[in-house]
Amino acid sequence: MFVRPSVGPISRAGAYGLRQLPNEPVTRHSGIDFVGATGSPIRAVRSGVVVAAAPNGTFKRYGNVVVIKHDDPSTAPFSLYAHLNAIKVRKGQRVLPGQIIGTMGSTDTEHTHLHFEMLKSFPLPPPDVDRADPTPLLATAYTARGGGRVPVLYPPTQQQSAQAQGVQTRPGYLFPENASRLSGLPGEPGSYPERSLKVLWVLGFAALAWALLPHGGQESW
């Protein structure tokens, strides 16, 4: 089982592989960048043991970082979660798929996002060496909701599958400061789809109540 590490979308320049940022040469991006609001939950993609829960400055370029050794080593034996605002686990701790391991932040970077990597080896290999592309896993990734050690897991949505096939955030958005407005999936607390559904329920009940009320004294035309 593979769980999406963040419900946020992938940034326009955050895909795995070769990329060219404005006014910079072409480089290889060794992971995937998910955008979202500061403090939004980051989750373990698979069960395993935390082999690193390191503060900013321990690993160059990664800020606050967590690395997990998976029970299931397929694709890659380790997953890395970088630039965290807060670390919620400790080294040696066992984690379950979808368990919250930290919150999204911007340590050692200019923009709030999760930089996620699948590592083939640990200790941390040199940049762009021994990484695996996690993109194909997103098409079959579960979404976790709720806090605590045992979150509720939901199968992949059509939106997730579309994002995994290359649909990125809106044109012009690289690391939007208001990424929380873009990141909600149906049923996620605070997401646009969830709020819209609540509004529709309220309007529906109001219309039903109005229809059931007596409307005497009105003439027919």
Per residue in 17-61, pLDDT (tens digit) is 666 556 666 666 788 999 999 999 999 999 999 999 999 999 989
Domain boundaries, the chain: 17-183
Q: Averaged over 201-220, what is the pLDDT?
A: 62
Alpha carbons 189 and 160: distance in angstroms, whole number: 17
By mean pLDDT, which of 11-15, 60-64, 142-146, 179-183 is the weakest? 179-183
Where does the pLDDT of residue 106 fall: very low under 50, low under 70, confident under 90, or very high at 90 and above? Answer: very high
Percent of the chain with pLDDT over 70: 69
Above 60 in pLDDT, residue 96? yes
**What is the CATH class of 17-183?**
mainly beta
The rounded mean pLDDT for the chain is 79
Please tell me the predicted confidence (pLDDT) of residue 206: 73
pLDDT value for 158: 75
Asked if pLDDT for residue 3 goes beyond 70, the answer is yes
pLDDT at 99 over 50: yes
* Overall pTM surpassing 0.75 (yes/no): no
Closest Cα to residue 14, out of 126, 142, 125, 168? 168
202 has a pLDDT exceeding 80: no
The arithmetic mean of pLDDT across residues 135-159, rounded, is: 86
pLDDT of residue 218: 41
